Amino acid sequence: MITAVKKAPLLRLSWRSPQASGALSVLAGIALWQLVYDGLARTGYLQVYAIDHFFVSPWQVVESFAELYRSGELVRNCYFSFLEFLYGFLLSVVVGVPVGFLMATQEKLNNFLDPWVSCIYATPRVALAPIVVVWFGLGIFPTSLVVFLGAVFPILLNTYTGIKSVRRNLIDVVRAFGGSRRQIFLKVMIPDATPAIIAGMRLGVGRAVIGVVVGELFGAEAGLGSMVYLYSQRFQPGPVFVGIVILVVFGILTFVAVEKLQRWLSPWYAYQLQRKVQGMEME
């Protein structure tokens, strides 16, 4: 036992841990990025080939961030985008979960809705963004609607799958005790379908972020997407990168938050094979 410990020194062990090597890789990547940029700047190619129209150094991104923050532009844009995300995402939960549930339990309704849901699901919904803006004009509402169109389908379909795959034998248990339909719904169907529904929400987050960006491209007074678009047209990549980084970080943080919600709502679920949920993460 003692020799085994000696053979695997602590330092080496922590060095090899996924977190450590991950952080190291990210830091090295950023450093490399900075070096490449400085090297290009020294040769002068940056200006000759207009590389500085789309390429920045990490340090310039930090500078742009500070500048946008000072002018108040950043906060305002974040605020608008966040509202669009929030409204659209909440709406897609409020619509997607009940409709998915009804489709899973009411066969007739499912027969009628299925062709339309499948058809719209097969269409990339971002394609509808310009049309939505023509219909509803500028502002927060149309972009929220684009967010909704993106996020609602994964939530709806995962709710449907979750309810459809509720374990029959657990329903039988409640029936055997003389439980009512209401009790079957509350005590078995809802808890058993929760992990699938949350997996749908996790997928919806990603779609919602894309919805924010594409929606703002067509009709926004403010927002991170419109900021990205504006500065890329002005050939100022600094603010563009700031917008991208914030959206990516926001997307990942929300993703993690939904995962935490998952663990909190269904702590018993963690042990189950992630594969089952992963299998649903499609399209």
Enumerate residues 84-143 that contact another protein by CB under 8 A.
108, 111-116, 119-120, 122-124, 126-131, 133-135
CB of 9 to another protein, least distance (A): 18
Distance between CA atoms of residues 134 and 166, nearest Å? 42
Distance between CA atoms of residues 88 and 126, nearest Å? 14
Could you tell me which stretch among 5-13, 36-44, 72-80, 224-232 binds another protein (CB under 8 A)? 224-232
45 scored as a contact of another protein (CB under 8 A):
no
Among 198, 228, 242, 277, indicate the residue that binds another protein (CB under 8 A): 228
Could you tell me which stretch among 5-13, 39-47, 90-98, 175-183 binds another protein (CB under 8 A)? 175-183
151 scored as a contact of another protein (CB under 8 A):
no
Q: Is the dihedral of CA 209, 258, 166, 189 positive or negative?
A: negative
Q: Residues 176, 92: contact at Cβ < 8 Å?
A: no
What's the number of CA atoms in the CB half-sphere (13 Å) around residue 99? Answer: 17
Among 213, 220, 242, 277, indicate the residue that binds another protein (CB under 8 A): 213
188 scored as a contact of another protein (CB under 8 A):
yes
| Short-list 127, 89, 81, 125, CA closest to 227 | 81
CB of 84 to another protein, least distance (A): 14
What's the number of CA atoms in the CB half-sphere (13 Å) around residue 154? Answer: 26
Provide the H-helix boundaries in the chain: 2-7, 10-16, 18-43, 45-48, 58-71, 73-105, 107-122, 129-136, 140-164, 168-176, 181-184, 190-218, 224-233, 237-265, 274-280
The dihedral region occupied by 9, where left means phi > 0, alpha psi between -120 and 50, and beta the remainder, is: beta
| Short-list 56, 125, 54, CA closest to 88 | 125
User: Which of the residues 25 through 44 are near another protein (CB under 8 A)?
Assistant: 25-26, 29
Among 95, 173, 258, 261, indicate the residue that binds another protein (CB under 8 A): 173
- Comparison of 36 and 94: residue with beta carbon closer to another protein: 36
58 scored as a contact of another protein (CB under 8 A):
no
172 scored as a contact of another protein (CB under 8 A):
yes
Distance between CA atoms of residues 129 and 120, nearest Å? 13
- Comparison of 93 and 277: residue with beta carbon closer to another protein: 277
User: Which of the residues 232 through 271 are near another protein (CB under 8 A)?
Assistant: 232-233, 235, 237, 240, 243-244, 247-248, 251-252, 255, 266-269, 271
280 scored as a contact of another protein (CB under 8 A):
yes
CB of 131 to another protein, least distance (A): 5
Q: Residues 164, 224: contact at Cβ < 8 Å?
A: no
21 scored as a contact of another protein (CB under 8 A):
yes
